[in-house]
Structure 1
Amino acid sequence: MSELKIEPGSLPAEKRFSITVTEKGPFLVYGRPPFCEQFIMPDPDNESWYFQEGKHFSTESEPTALCRCGASKRKPYCDGAHVHADWDPQLTAPDRRLLDDAEQIEGGTLRMSDNPAYCVFARFCHPYGDAWTLTEESSDPEARRLAIREASMCPSGRLTAWDKKTGKPYEFRFEPSLGLIEDIAIGSSGGLWIRGGIPLRREDGTTYEIRNRVVVCRCGQSANKPYCDGTHAAIKWRDDLQGDPVGETLPEEVY
């Protein structure tokens, strides 16, 4: 068996947690992680700024089958619609580490890694000067603070800020949990947000790189399956779950 890939700065979840991506059907969730909507919330300038919880869903079934094709009438759960849905279930993402293909942006005190293949169009990288410019200007304390925040808010891990002095990445410390990304500003529902190092594996046992932040496709149309590639935003895909952002918000500090 090949050695597990673990992204620097990520901690694997307890062994009871895992998600299997079936070849032609749903995600199978094990370990009963907390599961709720995560709404992208704006700042006063209507830029993406924080996440707020919405409706909670049960994962008591072992496993819990979650829709991957986008056609279920019982979203977020699978109802077997994938058998007749117009979608391509093929898992096309390369078996590589995210950082293998990442660009490196150098700044005064920070470096930022950027793998555009994992962009999910959440837009946390834009407020108050984009994350790339802020990284380049990170000798300034305020630019450094904002660069770390914007990179760390990227739900898919496309962006990561690294301290140049220590070489260590900045990450929120998530508990193993799942989120359904909802994007009110563009009128679209996003991918399934997998947090806290929950292993994602194929039916043959092959485990994808374990990461603190992962977003996988649930509209069925990504070209980088199982990962989300932002296609939901282009097609304005909706899950019609009709929840409201009334719960807790993502913490402000990065560790």
Structure 2
Amino acid sequence: MSEATAGGGSGTERPPEAGKPRIKEYEGEGVTVTFEPRRCLHAAECVRGLPEVFDLSRRPWVLPDAAAPERVAEVIRRCPSGALRYRPADGTAEPPDAPTTVRRSASGQLVVRGDLRVADGDGERRETRVVLCGCGASGNQPYCDHSGPCAEPDDDVAEER
């Protein structure tokens, strides 16, 4: 798969194959961070948790080497939607939460964490964190995209989880 620079620096973007999501990749010495923009619900766990790594005012906006890989992984695991993911330099996968949990937000979204297999229009994907649409209005089914009534601004606030 070819890669093109996304915003300068070490961020690369994998062009989507037919029907596949666009994923940006930011490679660091100890950890690689991937970002799937259409899944982002703007919970801001990343920018609040590690502003030196995640800074929307610069390009590339993700600098994985600006903090210890373990700290980067810890903050990424706070991302409820799974838009941000990480891969340690040793190639291991992000460990899923155990046991798997499902929580319905007050507005109907399903917040799911664990060892997941999610089927969407592109086939089946292995996931560790997702926010699924509970109202049926999302244009990114089965994931929530905040386009319907099941998406209230405060659903992803860490203190409410």
TM (norm. structure 2) is: 0.62
CA distance in 2, matches of 1:223, 1:132: 27
Match of 1:111 among 4, 15, 32: 32
Contact 1:108/1:136 (<8 A) preserved:
no
1:212 to 106, 116, 128: 128
CA shift for structure 1 position 121 = 2.6
Q: 2:104–2:110: 8 Å Cα contact kept in structure 1?
A: yes
Match of 1:83 in 2: none
CA-atom RMSD, angstroms?
Answer: 3.7
Q: 1:167 to 1:130 in 2, by over 3 A?
A: same
Residue 225 (structure 1) aligns with? 141
Contact 2:82 2:130 in 1 (8 A): yes
Larger Rg: 1
Identity %: 23
Cα 1:121–1:104 change in 2 (3 A) is: same
* Contact map agreement 1:105 1:132 (CA 8 A) in 2: no
Q: Which runs of 5+ in 2 are unaligned?
A: 1-17, 56-60
Stretches of structure 1 that go unaligned for 5 or more consecutive residues are 1-93, 183-188, 240-244, 250-255
Find 1:138's aligned residue among 62, 65, 85: 65
User: How many aligned positions are there?
Assistant: 134
Shift of 1:154: 1.3
Which of structures 1 and 2 has the larger relative contact order (alpha carbons within 8 angstroms, sep 6+)?
Answer: 1
Q: Distance in 2 between matches of 1:152 and 1:137?
A: 14
Q: Which residue of 2 aligns with 1:155?
A: 80
Secondary structure, in 3 states, of the residue corresponding to 2:76? helix
Change (3 A) 1:135 1:120: closer
1: CA distance between counterparts of 2:46 and 2:73? 10
Kept in 1, the 8 Å contact 2:26–2:64? The answer is: no
CA change 1:234–1:132 in 2 (3 A) is farther
> What is the CA–CA distance in structure 2 between the aligned matches of 1:209 and 1:195, rounded to whole Å?
14
Please tell me whether residue 125 in structure 1 is matched to residue 46 in structure 2: yes
Query: Are the counterparts in 2 of residues 152 and 172 from structure 1 also a CA contact under 8 Å?
Result: no
CA distance in 2, matches of 1:234, 1:131: 31
Task: Tell me the secondary structure at the aligned position of residue 153 of structure 1.
Answer: coil
